[in-house]
Structure 1
Amino acid sequence: MTAEPTSSSRALRWGIVLALGLGLAACSKEEAAPAPAGAPAPAAAQPAGPSAEEVAAQEAAEAAEAALKGLSIDELRSRGSDALREQRLYAPAGDNAMEYYLALREKSEKPDASAEMALIDLMPYAIIAAEQAIGREDFVEADRLRSLIERSDAQTPALPRIKDSIAKGRAGVAERAQQEAAQAAQREREAELAAQRAAQEAAAAAAAATQPAPTPAPVATQPAQPATPAPTEPAATQPAQPPAPEPTVARASNPVPVRAPQPSYPRAAYRSGVSGEVTVEIAIAANGSVTDVRVIRSQPRGTFDREVINTVRDWQFEPMDGPATLTRTFSFKP
């Protein structure tokens, strides 16, 4: 077994990375010259080093690891059992069954059967929780769960997928932030140009007001001529114009999910190696809330239905022009 790095060495390594990142950011600010008005804004720079949230999570993990190392084997076994009973399976950090049993494994000279069985049972719940954290873009929590999964079983098939999803999710968030920064810079430039045009128009109006008005030329008076009455004609009747239609607000015509977590794998089915599928019909109101969930087909019948229905009832979609229905199939494979 390879030796684990000490808390002080990990903290020093994180401190060096953070210091280098702050130094690079400071150098970038000193060397950057102000862009002229109307020039395209440079692309937003990628953050150097770990974020403040990631540093805080790393420090909390190190503190929790140090606290766990101070517990005896009996204390770790007892606290792991209590956490299982109280459904603290993989959270909160530092006080959950997975971390207690992992610490028990690392501290025991020979494998502990109860700890190994518990880690096998807890693995699918940690995988589902990691995927849900990725879905809500909580990558700090997803990475913490990824670490627990890897420590439990580095060969589990789901681990490469979770690592790849975390990397792609973080890249997508960074790209979106860069696009939003570019859009904000564009809006700022447009506002500056509009202010400049308004100032120029106001200056032109003020200059025109200070110019003297031209003196009108005298008009020669002509003798008045008797007016010849013009023949009267009936006024043409103009057709009435229809009122202009009111502007309509564009709304989605197809269901677009806003919040759609995936159903959890029932523990009994996972331990038994049972796989299957559930197809449901989802009724969605115009405001985007789910009004009804109806099972169309399930195999095996009744094994996964309740978990799917309870999860899908909490889904939320964007508002639409009217009610809609959606059919969705959920697959469960251990």
Structure 2
Amino acid sequence: MDTRKSRHGRSRARGAIKPITIAVLAIVACLAVASWFLIIKPHEDMLSTDAGGHPSTPVNLSQQQTAAPVNVEAMSLNDLLAEARKAMNEQRIIAPAGNNAFEFYLKVLQKQPGNQVAADALRETFPFAASNVEQVINQREFTEADREIDLLAKVDPTNYTLTILRSKLDAQRKTLDEEQQKQLDQQHQAELAAQKANVDKAAAQKALADKAAADKAAQQQAALAAQQEKAKQEEETKKAADTTNEVAAGNTSSGGGQTRDAIPISTIRPRYPTSALRNNQEGWVDVQYTVNADGSVSNVQVLGAEPRHVFDNAAVDALRRAKFSPAMRDGVATASQQQKRIEFKLSAAQ
């Protein structure tokens, strides 16, 4: 009797378990169906749309014509989810600002913090959004990159991907700063080079002008010196001619018995010593010399000089080069001695 009761109890227990199992299976099935329609199906629709492709595919935001909702704050949860799905289908995952899936899903969570659909969607699309942010960083749109990184931080503030993105953003900013600084340096160097070229050109032109002026002045000075030398030669020639004429006239008037001293027929012009010119020295030399019967000069001796030994050689050399009409004794040329002071003046040397 006891055995029959125990078997009957076990049969009743097994019968009670079956309805519970069925109920659990039904709940699981419902959740699966809900997940299909609310999460999986929207993603499959997104991937199969004509604008399709992978959510990580770059999108040209400037070509999107979808207008942002007028008043997002007033939209219901269903409207926000619909806008979010639409944005996902059009690959507006995290941009443009105010009209992207991330902001719509975040607005859903703001209105209903426990909304599983929005939370799951944000978690699943986080890697794709991060990929888009990296593209924006590489394009050096730093303001947009900051905005998108802030959106990612609202979804998962501790995600290590944010650290990587911020590091890349800082590196790109640093690279851009270095490139800009390099361009500024190159521009500055080019300006300095241009300035130096202008200065060098002006200096070269001035040097050419100065040289031309100096050459012209030198030519004028040379021409003036040539004229002065020519005038002196003409004067010396005239004096020599006058002396010769006087001698001839004397000879004619005396009938061949003329007596006179030696007469120079060329101007005695000593060469001014270079050292005296350089030191601005002036002086004189007293000399004694013999005028031979042929008019040449010999036995030149220095009797005195001031300053001593400065102008001596120049005076002696000048007399040796001088030409005389010899002294006459009863119409006969004869040797004679003379003395002369030769002066050296800077004014005459110039």
Name the TM-score, length of structure 2 as normaliser: 0.40
Q: Which has the larger radius of gyration?
A: 2
**Which structure shows the higher helix fraction?**
2
Name the TM-score, length of structure 1 as normaliser: 0.42
